[in-house]
Structures are given as C-alpha cells and as structure tokens.
Structure 1
Amino acid sequence: MYQLGHYGIAMLVYAPVGAALVLAGHPFAAYVGGAVMVGTATLPDCDHRLPLVEHRGPTHSLAFALLVGGVLAVAGSALAPAVDGVLGLDPAVLGFALGTLSVSTHLLGDVLTPMGIRPLWPLSRRRYSLNLTPAKNRVANYGLFALGVLATAVTVVGLARVA
C-alpha cells in the first residue's frame, strides 16, 4: 500500500481502540494514541532510505513491530514525569501497545499486495500475501483511507451521543 492506504488502515484499526480508551475515561490517551498511530503508520517504509536493507524485509516483520513498541515504551517511560496523571495510563505500556499496533497495521496493508510480507523474519523468510491489490492501486489506497476516516468519524459521533 501507499501512504494514504496505510493511514486509512491505521485509523480503521485504531477507531475501536480509541473508543475503548474514551469510554474507560482516558480521552487524552485516546487522542495521543490516534496521533501516534497515524504518525507512525508508514514507519516500516523507512527501509526505502536505508542502505543494504531490502524493502519489505526486516522492517516489515513482527520483530520490527515489537522493536518499535519497545522504543515507544522507553520513550513513554522517559516522558512519564511530564505526563504524570494526564494520560491516566502508564505511558510505557501505552507506548508499547501503540508502537506494536501501528507497525502491525502497516503489515496488514502490505499483506494485501502481491509482494506480501515476511512477518516471521528472522525466523522464516517465507512471504505471505493475500494478493488482493497492487500497492499502487489508487482505488484501494483511497478506499482504505476513506474507510479509516469513516470509522474515525462514526466513532467520534457515536462517542458524542454517549456523552
């Protein structure tokens, strides 16, 4: 998928998570989480700019998802004194969950394409693909983006009615 498609999938997957955070009394954490999800949705594609790293190689794996989760957990721990009591949740736990989930949504988008992904790298080099659409398919990318925006809008409207 391209950038918009990845943003859409991140929003689509995060909408119910954000809603659950709001309903649990953590609206600020929900908003921060949404920003982190969209902000890191294309992180695995950093491999385009890394020499000697194959595209859809290590950065498109569950190991990378866990690594990003770990990095955001450390960042959350470092920020903990500054956000103490504001998030309502442990920033390290939130960081780990968001980092891992964000990269996982990217993998979900790329498994739709013929090129697929190798999610079990470095344990296995086997590629997985649903072969549904080329990554460059504009209709698929805009469609996924529209679904993500729609899911977010429905969630926000639904939460407004509950409040």
Structure 2
Amino acid sequence: MYWRGHVGIALLAYAPVAGAVRVAGEPELTVLGAAVAVTFATLPDLDHRLPVAHRGPTHTIAFALTAGVLVALAAAIVFPVGDGTAPATAAGTALPPWTPGFVGGIATLSLCSHVAGDAITPMGIWPLRPFRGWHVTLDLTPAANPRANRLFLGAGVAALALSVALTL
C-alpha cells in the first residue's frame, strides 16, 4: 500500500476505538488518537531511507510493539498525568491518567495496521521476524493500485466519521 491506503487502514482500525473513547467522555483523546493513528500509519516505510530491506524489520509485530512502548514512555513525559500537574485540554479538563498508555496503544495499533495493509499485497510481509520466517500474503492488490489506496482512505475516513457521529 501507499500512504493513502495506510492512512485509511489505520483510520479503519482506530474507528471503533474512537467511538469507545467518545462514549467514555474523552473527546479530546478521540482527536489525539486520530492524530496518532495518522502519524504512525506510514512510519514503517521509513525503511526506504534506512540501510535495511524494505518490509524487513520495520514491518514486524515486534517493531510495532517496541515502538508502541517507546511512544507510551515519551507520552508519559509529554503528558505527566500522574503527578498532579496534568495538562489541561482545550475544555479546561485534565487528561485522564491512562493517556500515555492510550497514545502508545494507538501507535501500536496504527503500526500493526500498516503490517496488515502490506499483507494484502503480492509482496506480503514476514510479521514474526526475527522469531519466525512465516511469510504472509493475501495477494489481493498491488501496493501501487491507486483505486485500492483511495478506497481504503475513503473507507477509513468514513468509518471514523461514522464512529464519532454515532456517539454524539
């Protein structure tokens, strides 16, 4: 998949979470989660600029989990919710104490959605590397298919909009 497809798939994965977060009464986190999902949707493709094979180490579940933990740790520094100095949102309310875990979890979800998106292409992925050499490809569409990429982007935006609209 190309960036449009990956962003769409990340939004598709995030849409049910967005609805749950809205129902939990955290609209600011709904927006933050969408931003995190979009931001991390294409991160694995930075391997094009690194001295590693494309769809190699950055296209694994281990990478997604490790990056998610690092993002959660960074979020704990940026959003120090446990020390009584929690930053206020635009509405003047404090962020919940689970904000860093939420941000790390959404980053992990978005990275896993990238791996899943590449699994539908003929090239496929090796999601369990370096632990297993299991290759996954559904061979549904080439990564460069503009229709598929636009379809996923549209579906992701629509799913997120519907999820939020149903919880207003």
Using the size of structure 2 for normalisation, the TM-score is 0.89
Q: Is the 8 A contact 2:14 2:106 kept in 1?
A: no
Deviations 1:112-151 (A, max 9, x none): 0011111001102221011100000111101111101111
Q: C-alpha displacement at 1:80, in angstroms?
A: 2.7
Give yes or no for the alignment of 1:135 onto 2:143.
yes
In structure 2, what is the equivalent of residue 123 of structure 1? 131
Mapped contact 1:29–1:89 kept (Cα < 8 A): no
Instruction: Give 2:101's aligned residue.
Output: 93
The structure in which a higher percent of residues are helix is 1
Contact 2:18/2:164 (CA < 8 Å) preserved in 1?
no
**Residue 84 of structure 2 corresponds to residue 80 of structure 1:** no
Q: Secondary structure at the match of 1:136?
A: coil
Which residues of structure 1 form unaligned runs of 5+?
Answer: none
Cα distance between partner residues in 1 of 2:132 and 2:144: 27
* Runs (5+) with no aligned partner, structure 2: 81-85
Following superposition, the deviation at residue 2 of structure 1 comes to 0.3
**Most deviating of 111-120 and 148-157:** 148-157
Shifted more, 78-87 versus 63-72: the winner is: 78-87
What RMSD in Å do the two structures reach over aligned CA positions? 1.4
Instruction: Select 1:103's aligned residue among 104, 107, 111.
Output: 111
Secondary structure of the 2:166 match is helix
Give the aligned length. Answer: 159
Determine helix, strand or coil for the equivalent of 1:133. Answer: coil
SS in 2 for 1:159: coil
Note the 1:10-159 alignment, pairs <5 A: 10-51=10-51, 53-81=52-80, 83=87, 86-159=94-167
* 1:17-66 per-position Cα deviation (integer Å, ceiling 9, x unaligned): 01100101111111101100001100000100002x00000000000001
Give the stretch that moved more between structures: 57-66 or 119-128.
119-128
Identity of aligned residues (%): 47
User: In 2, distance between residues paired with 1:70 and 1:60?
Assistant: 16
Greater shift, 79-88 or 66-75, is seen at 79-88
Instruction: Please report how far the alpha carbon of residue 95 of structure 1 lies from its aligned counterpart in structure 2 after TM superposition.
Output: 2.5
| CA contact 1:76–1:94 (8 Å) conserved in 2 | no
User: What does the per-residue CA deviation read over 1:53-112, in whole Å, with 9 as the maximum and x for residues that have no partner?
Assistant: 000000000000011101111111102335376322423211321121110010111000
Partner AA of 1:106 in structure 2:
H
> Counterpart of 1:117 in 2: which secondary structure?
coil
